[in-house]
Amino acid sequence: MASEQATMLRINLDHSSPVPLYYQMAKAIEKDIETGALAPGERLENEIALAGRLRVSRPTARRALQELVDLGMLVRKRGVGTQVAPARVHRRVELTSLFDDLAGSGRKPATTVLEYSVGPCAPEVSDTLEIPQGEEVVTVKRLRYADGEPLALMVNHLALEIAPTREELTDLGLYAALRAHGIEIHMAQQQIGARLATAAEARILDEKPKAALLTMERKAFDVDGRAIEHGVHIYRASRYNFSTTLFAQ
């Protein structure tokens, strides 16, 4: 039985481009899903027809489709076919920074750098960053605002040779500033907890003493496993929470 409802994708591939064909295909389909040209539940052509029409081999077409399955945008079943996944499953968002989060949700982030100092490495930080104790590291203490209100107090430690300048940290988030230095964060270990605000913390965050705070401690690493950053953050629980989308292995 010929496929009754399969959508014919309009995709132009540039076979002479240095951009891999599977990548061009995946991006094109991804765009169609994001714009709604392909609706959730809609059926795609089978991979052999798709490959033939786009003049690529079947493994290449498969690879493109598999990329989108891994992203949760497509669902494939043997004997059935390929469908666009329900909208809510699309796109895992992970490892974004607070700055990006705020900017992305339309709130206006701003940062005050309260402290920017170079000093000997404390034992705890030494462990994380794998820098010998006593060697110099940069300590940064920042107050983050959203729409003019204080939101979070963040203390970070970085190795001297990779630390962004004070000015960069005022204009960008930490991760964006690191990226400008060619440093990509690949993995982070986080612990999220809660506690009551001290008097000093309450004052600086415009909360009452003993208000609820969200706490986050993070260690971040690059793709080679080098430790890049150690951070201890506190957030006003009245104004912020962590939203995450998790996927089963």
Partner DNA sequence: CAGTGGTCTAGACCACTTA
Partner DNA sequence: AAGTGGTCTAGACCACTGA
Task: Give the residues lining the site for its own copies (CB under 8 A).
Answer: 40, 59, 70, 72, 75, 85-86, 88-89, 92, 94-95, 184-196, 210-215, 221, 223-225, 237, 240-249
The nearer residue to its own copies, 116 or 240, going by C-beta atoms, is: 240
Taking CB under 7 A as the rule, does residue 189 contact DNA? no
Residue 220 contacts residue 188 (beta carbons within 8 Å)? yes
Taking CB under 7 A as the rule, does residue 49 contact DNA? yes
59: left (phi over 0), alpha (psi -120 to 50) or beta: alpha
Question: Which residues in 18-37 contact DNA (CB under 7 A)?
Answer: 18, 20-23
**Alpha-carbon torsion 21, 11, 69, 48, what sign?**
negative
The nearer residue to its own copies, 170 or 215, going by C-beta atoms, is: 215
The nearer residue to DNA, 20 or 41, going by C-beta atoms, is: 20
Query: Which of 2, 223, 246, 248 forms a contact with DNA (CB under 7 A)?
Result: 2
DSSP state of 105: T
Site string for DNA, 54-93 (x = CB under 7 A): -xxxxxx-xx------------xxxxxxx-----------
Residue 152 contacts residue 240 (beta carbons within 8 Å)? yes
Q: For the stretch 22-44, what's the b/e string if a residue is b when 16 or more beta carbons lie within 10 angstroms of its beta carbon?
A: bebbbebbbebbeeeebebeebb
Helix (H) or strand (E) holding 205: helix 199-205
Taking CB under 7 A as the rule, does residue 8 contact DNA? no
Shortest Å, Cβ 164 to its own copies: 18
The nearer residue to DNA, 65 or 234, going by C-beta atoms, is: 65
Shortest Å, Cβ 103 to its own copies: 17
The nearer residue to DNA, 19 or 212, going by C-beta atoms, is: 19
Count the site residues for DNA by CB under 7 A.
29
* CB half-sphere exposure, 111, CA atoms < 13 A: 23
Q: Which long-range contacts (CB under 8 A, 24 or more apart) does 35-41 make?
A: 38/7, 38/9, 38/84, 39/84, 40/84, 40/85, 40/86, 40/87, 41/83, 41/84, 41/86
Please give the residue ranges that form the binding site for DNA (CB under 7 A): 1-3, 6, 18, 20-23, 44, 46-49, 55-60, 62-63, 76-82
